[in-house]
Amino acid sequence: MDVDLVEPQQLAVYFGPLISVYERDSGGKLLVEWMKEDWQLFTHARMDTAHAKELLSEILDNGDIVRKTFSPSPTYKSEGLIRWETLRDELMYRNRYFLDETLDEDRLEQLLSHLLADELPRKWHRARIRTGGVTYPIAEMGAPPKRLATHGRANPPGIPYLYLGSVPETAVAEVRPHTGEVACVAEFTIAGPLNAIDLRNPRKLVSPFVLGDAGAIGQLRADIPFLERLGEELTRPVLPQGASIDYVPSQYLCEFIKKCRYDGVIYRSSVSDGMNLALFDPTKAEGRDVSLYAVSRVTVKIDPA
């Protein structure tokens, strides 16, 4: 099989600015450990620490630097996470429409541009639990009418989005079924390319190599925990009785993403291994067929409170 190869030394121009955002520190960690932790580089199953050090030394043409320990430069700081927590509290408990706390919207829009969803499936699924033994037709499997759209994880009340799962199991799990129930699962296809933000794993998606400037790389590294926190906002379990309040921060986030002219948001499922899509414009998805699935088992995992 033909595979394109590159000499390690040719990558030095990309790794040089990246390495420069770390400073020598006798109490720190190896550079390859920071590369794995901060940027998820050298994470192939066969790329253990020894092999990663060997490769990095060839890239940098420096066998000594990979044996020394470093820490991130304290020069680069981010207020995004702190400001989000303050804004979140205000949205939920103090002000809803005229806010005292604000985010750096320009910076957030820049950061979101690093999280473009790629290689998404064309087929998606939505589930509804069958009631009265009647199967829902495809016309009733889309987003609800505006007047019936209640608080959702991504949508404010009255503004319907279409929530889809990547596989039938995810779609069914998201409606919290009981054992013995029957789920109607509709298949949807996305019309045209989807310009969506992927918040499942920001640390995996952001790349320091698209930024040639060490300062921009250092600032991006400082902002990654903020992006991860936004991803958690869309995944955290919410009890039905508190949804009208607990969903407000994620609704605010999705409204901002929509304002930036994206089509939707991809986020992790908290109840299955699949992924979810909140599609801002339901007309971008076309309903196909409806299939029936019996819920044969619902598992529960408990942890000490």
The whole-number pLDDT of residue 4 equals: 87
Report d(CA 203, CA 37) in Å as an integer: 9
Q: Report whether pLDDT(127) > 90.
A: yes
Q: In this structure, are 226 and 150 located in the same domain? A: yes
Q: In this structure, are 19 and 145 located in the same domain? A: no
Q: What torsion, rounded to 10 degrees, do the Cα atoms 35, 41, 45, 51 define?
A: -60
46-59 pLDDT, tens digit each: 999 999 999 999 99
Pick from 68, 183, 193, 47: nearest CA to 128: 183
Q: In this structure, are 54 and 82 located in the same domain? A: no
Domain assignment of residue 53, given as a range: 8-72
Q: In this structure, are 232 and 150 located in the same domain? A: yes
134-178 pLDDT, tens digit each: 999 999 999 999 999 999 999 999 999 999 999 999 999 999 999
**The two structure tokens encoding residue 233:** 């906002």
DSSP one-letter string for 150-207 = ---SSPPTT---EEEESSHHHHHHHT---TT-EEEEEEEEE-S---EEE-S-HHHH--
Question: Does 3 map to a domain?
Answer: no
DSSP one-letter string for 246-295 = HTHHHHHHHHHHHHTT--EEEEE-SSSSSEEEEESSGGGEEEEEEEEEE-
The whole-number pLDDT of residue 1 equals: 65
Domain boundary residue, one of 56, 72, 88: 72
Neighbours of 57 (CB within 10 A): 18
Report the side by side order of strands in the sheet with 162-165.
196-198, 264-268, 275-279, 162-165, 123-129, 182-190, 285-294
85-115 pLDDT, tens digit each: 999 999 999 999 999 999 999 999 999 999 9
Gyration radius of the chain over CA positions = 23
Q: In this structure, are 48 and 107 located in the same domain? A: no
Domain boundary residue, one of 27, 54, 72: 72
Report d(CA 173, CA 155) in Å as an integer: 19
Q: Tell whether pTM > 0.75.
A: yes
Question: Does 2 map to a domain?
Answer: no
213-251 pLDDT, tens digit each: 999 999 999 999 999 999 999 999 888 899 999 999 999
Count of structural domains, the chain:
2
**The two structure tokens encoding residue 1:** 């099989």
